[in-house]
Chains A and B, each alone.
Chain A
Amino acid sequence: MSQKTDEEIAKRVQRGDVASFGLLIGQYEEKILRYAKKFLLDREDSKDLVQEVFIKAYTNIQSFDTKKKFSPWIYRIAHNEFVNAVKKRSRIPVFSFDPDLFLPHPIADETSDSEAEKKELKQTLDQSLEKISAKYREPLILYYFEELDYKEIAEILQIPTSTVGVRLRRGRMMLKKLMSPYD
């Protein structure tokens, strides 16, 4: 039997095939849980929040356009759920007005980091997640751990691709500073 794409599986769920939704959960459970743990800094309710993500995904599956990619759609639900959870706990806005969203930036190229550098940055990121603000932490996690490209991250965060480039560049600079604090 040929491997079905996420979008095809989502279409079956829309037609009422509950078992297919199980397949989608299977595909994304680990990824979304990893995203939750890293973004929410290992909060004890991460699992509950991820469960809520899948509940919302099922409830709203009819709003998914099967001509588009499924992964940014489910990550977007996760992003909303996690940001709301942070807001609830901290009672302060996670992201206030961001001038980076307002002004245009030159289109950023995808990073040209070497594999070794990428690995090193990923390791530093993993060890110093709490030292980086949510605004920069989230795109870094989506890029280095979830291995999503700029366009997909832009769709998840609903910001321009050029802003994703700006946030990743600044996030990377923070990581490099953490790697060599005396430079």
Chain B
Amino acid sequence: MIDERSNKKSIRERVLEAVKGGDIKMKPKWHFVLRAVLGIIGACILLFAILYLASFIIFILRRTGVWFVPVFGSRGWFEFLLALPWLLILLSLAFIAVLEVFVRKYSFAYRRPMLYSVLTILFLAIVGGFVVASTPLHGRIFRYAEEHQLPFARPFYRQFGDRGFENIHPGKVTGVTQNGFTIQSRGGEALTVVVTSATRLPLGGGFEAGDFVVVFGERASNTVQAFGVRKITEMEE
């Protein structure tokens, strides 16, 4: 860029000569404004992606009944950890890491320890995820994707949202039997639930037709030996 012959000159002379000769040009102000705006847009997109994923994880955990099984003790927790959508969780963590790297460039982040900005992003992701999951957004997208056979959304929502687990059975009570009750799963399948004195009922028993429940227990054919049953207010659509 700068002439080799001018090697003997001072830095000041060489730089000024290059500026005056037009070899070095000042970037216009709009270049930096545009970069800042694109940066903010990028950060917002990342944050929305994190919120979407966090809320989707909560949505599918509720829909599949996995969300409710830790209440049944260590066995419930074990099942819960096995059933977590680790791929989506890792993807969310990767997005959080990218967003963290991104915000570290700004003074509000780098002036404080990294722990604070990481915790802030995690807090936003979790609280925001719960807020979004409490809206009918994912249920609507799921229904819309089903009805219109959307190419990406349908398989995505089906793969995670319709995942069945051997020991977790969410459903609606259809009738009460002598030693338990019957339920109908979201897919329309009828299951007989056997409740014994050892069955854990953290929110109490007294099931009636129309109740929504999550049954935790091993299934043999169409009968589930209930290790635990928990009433839920409603099933995710």
Contacts and interface: CB of A to CB of B under 8 A. Distances in A.
The binding surface of chain B is classed by DSSP as helix
Interface in A22-39: 22, 25-26, 29, 33
A18 B24 contact: no
Contact of B111 (A22, A59, A154): A154
A61 interface: yes
Interface in A1-46: 14, 18, 21-22, 25-26, 29, 33
State the majority secondary structure of interface residues on A. Answer: helix
B26 A25 contact: no
Contacts of A163: 113
A58 interface: yes
Given A47-B11, A101-B114, A161-B111, A62 B18 contact: no
Most chain A beta-carbon neighbours within 10 Å: one of B12, B14, B28: B12
Contact of A51 (B14, B107, B110, B115): B14
Given A25-B12, A51-B11, A59 B113 contact: no
B110 A22 contact: no
Nearest to A159: B110
B19 A102 contact: no
Given A62-B32, A103-B115, A29 B26 contact: no
Given A101-B113, A102-B114, A158-B104, A59 B27 contact: yes
Contacts of B11: 25, 29, 33, 47, 50-51, 54
B110 A59 contact: no
A161 B107 CA distance: 12
B5 interface: no
10 contacts: A21-B16, A21-B19, A22-B12, A51-B11, A51-B15, A59-B26, A62-B29, A62-B31, A63-B27, A104-B116
Interface of B: 1-2, 10-12, 14-16, 18-20, 24-29, 31-32, 104-105, 107, 110-116, 118
Please list the 3 inter-chain residue pairs (A to B) with the smallest Cβ-Cβ separation, ordered nearest first. A63-B32, A158-B110, A25-B12
